[in-house]
Copies of this chain bind each other. A is one copy, B any other.
Amino acid sequence: MAVYNAPLDDMRFILNDVFKAENFWQNNENLAHVDLDTVNMILEEMAKLSKNVLLPLNRTGDEEGATYQGDGVVTTPAGFKEAYKQYAESGWIGLGGDPEYGGQGFPKMVTMLTEEMVFTTNQSFALYPNLTVGATLCMLASASEEQKQTYLERMYSGEWSGTMCLTEPHAGTDLGIIKTKAVPNDDGSYKISGTKIFITGGEHDLTDNIIHLVLAKTPNAPEGSKGISLFLVPKFMVNEDGSLGERNTLSAGSIEHKMGIKGSATCVMNFDEAKGWMIGEENTGLASMFVMMNYERVTMGLQGLGGTELAYQNAALYANDRGQGRSDTQLQSPEKPADAIVHHADVRRMLLNARANSEASRCFAMYVAKNLDEQKFSTDPEAAKAAAARVALLTPIAKAFLTDKALEATVDCQQVFGGHGYIREWGMEQIVRDTRIAQIYEGANGIQALDLLGRKIARNEGKYMQNFLAEIRDFVANMQADHAIKQATLDAADTIEELTKTVMANIGQRKNEINGCAVDYLHATGYLCYSYMFAMMVEAANGKEGDFYTNKAKLANFFVGRILPRIDAHAQMVKAGSDPMMDFELSYFEVPAS
């Protein structure tokens, strides 16, 4: 069975040494109630729960999968129900929820660490509470007071779960063309009709009720994304006293058979004049959904981090145990027929790729989380605005770069196992399969890249990026540590500054330039972000005694020498632009359909 020990020391290093969380909280009256002792206890509790309850269900959940029983009934794999009950009753779902409605009010800097542990030990399981949290964020921002009063507490407590119903068979990335209809009833409610697909947790056996947040079009709504409204559509009606009433006319038609996250029920949901209530104003549905998207997209980055962390720990254990060949340095285990493969530099290269990704991902997610918290809780409007700009810039990177690097890292760790990595029993191939989805859903990574280069860079003429580069240079200029990461980070910042100018000039020249350069631009900036994170980690470790701290500097050396050089390749590819793709006639891509 897979091993996992929550990297609590690394988490505390990021929280306390790098980001000085307690200072941050104490200097903000809206967060002054958060104390480090409680946070430590929370982390330790989740370390136990994730290891002892969620991890043991990870492989069995993959083998059994969620099951469609017919007649709209979906069951989760054995053990999920009990684990969910324990998870919900311990209050994890409402950890970051609004105290006004029964939540515990912890900042994202804390919940991101608990979410990491859940994603590390069981990606399928993680999605059930995670979608509920997403739905509550959306409702908190846009729902009426009555709606909040009726639903939030039961969702925070885990009695009810939530979904987000966006995608339709013909409309995924392009939500402007959805067909689901919402026809008003006389009582202010709506009749919702349509088919939604890829609905995570659309139906299951974990909760008494499921609250669907559904995008639909009202009669005569404007075409495209400006004519989309958001509706709350419960599986069971809720009576005035909070008890459950009649069953709504919606049901799961089937579930998908997928590459991975098999324990997560991905449903086709049929709404047949189901009763629903509008959330927020008419035709503002997409905006309401996007309120919580920044949170969710960082969370998908955490899924990548989780996959990386589990893959790393198990690959490192295997590399210490498996003997093949002899160390190039010196004979290590003369009493055995072979030395452990952890002595081979190439095996270390794969392990360190993963570990560097894990540590940089966690640091970057925390950096974004801190800015999310600043944006949400700061009493200084200017500070909140600056934080919001950083969040806007960095969210697509947090989602796409972290998950793209995570696939590489999990594949590397699988490779450490040789042939055993391909065998289900060892669990490594499941991590690869599970992690792969994070590059696709919640806005495919190519879409994240368009968001970065189109909305966050081109639309404001690179201003967010200029501010970010200034911050990075300022940080490096003030570093006490003497380390190669300083010059490397400054060079990376120069690369991105020049690249941003070049690509913006090219965007003015070529219609397809944003679309054709976005992914490589995102990757180039992703390496800059990681470099900045390693600079922060080196600085936080500087002058402190013990291997734990000196190893932070060593991992940064590995990053500078063996990972960061890729930034130049991506920059060169961006400069080559979109012409090499658009030069082809459409017919070049034609393939006979049979």
Contact = CB atoms under 8 A, between A and B. Distances in A.
B554 A328 contact: no
Contacts of A593: 3, 317
Interface in A310-341: 313-314, 316-317, 319-320, 323-325, 328-329, 337-338
Contacts of A519: 346, 349
A584 B558 CA distance: 10
A219 interface: no
B172 A324 contact: yes
Contacts of A317: 591, 593
27 contacts: A3-B591, A3-B594, A172-B419, A197-B419, A256-B424, A256-B425, A257-B424, A258-B423, A258-B424, A313-B591, A320-B589, A328-B512, A329-B582, A343-B586, A345-B582, A351-B589, A414-B436, A415-B440, A415-B446, A418-B444, A547-B588, A551-B584, A557-B583, A561-B577, A562-B581, A565-B573, A565-B576
A241 interface: no
Given A256-B425, A328-B515, A345-B513, 19 more contacts: A3-B594, A167-B419, A170-B323, A173-B325, A198-B419, A258-B429, A259-B429, A328-B511, A345-B517, A345-B582, A411-B436, A419-B440, A421-B440, A422-B441, A547-B587, A547-B588, A554-B583, A557-B583, A565-B573
A444 B594 CA distance: 36
A170 B325 CA distance: 11
B418 A172 contact: yes
Contact of A581 (B349, B432, B437, B584): B349
Contact of A256 (B257, B423, B583): B423
B580 A569 contact: no
A81 interface: no
Which of the listed residues A319, A440, A551, A586 has the most CB atoms from chain B within 10 Å of its own CB?
A440
Contacts of A351: 589
Contacts of A414: 436
A442 to B, nearest CB: 10
A29 interface: no
Contact of A436 (B347, B422, B424, B587): B422
A5 interface: yes
Interface string A511-549: 111111111100000000000000000000000000100
B256 A5 contact: no
Interface string A187-205: 0000000000110000000
Interface string A416-460: 001101111100010011001101110011100110000000000
B342 A515 contact: no
A590 interface: yes
A293 interface: no
Contacts of A583: 554, 557
A585 interface: yes
Interface of A: 3, 5, 167, 170-174, 177, 197-198, 256-260, 313-314, 316-317, 319-320, 323-325, 328-329, 337-338, 342-352, 407, 411, 414-415, 418-419, 421-425, 429, 432-433, 436-437, 439-441, 444-446, 449-450, 511-520, 547, 551, 554, 557-558, 560-563, 565-566, 568-569, 572-573, 576-594
Contacts of A515: 328, 344-346
B581 A348 contact: yes
A224 to B, nearest CB: 9
A587 B351 CA distance: 13
A325 to B, nearest CB: 5
A307 to B, nearest CB: 15
B547 A516 contact: no
Which of the listed residues A173, A198, A257, A345 has the most CB atoms from chain B within 10 Å of its own CB?
A345
Nearest to A436: B422
Nearest to A169: B420
Given A514-B328, A569-B565, A437 B450 contact: no
Which of the listed residues A256, A346, A444, A520 has the most CB atoms from chain B within 10 Å of its own CB?
A346
Which of the listed residues A198, A349, A352, A566 has the most CB atoms from chain B within 10 Å of its own CB?
A349
A257 B319 contact: no
A148 B329 CA distance: 45
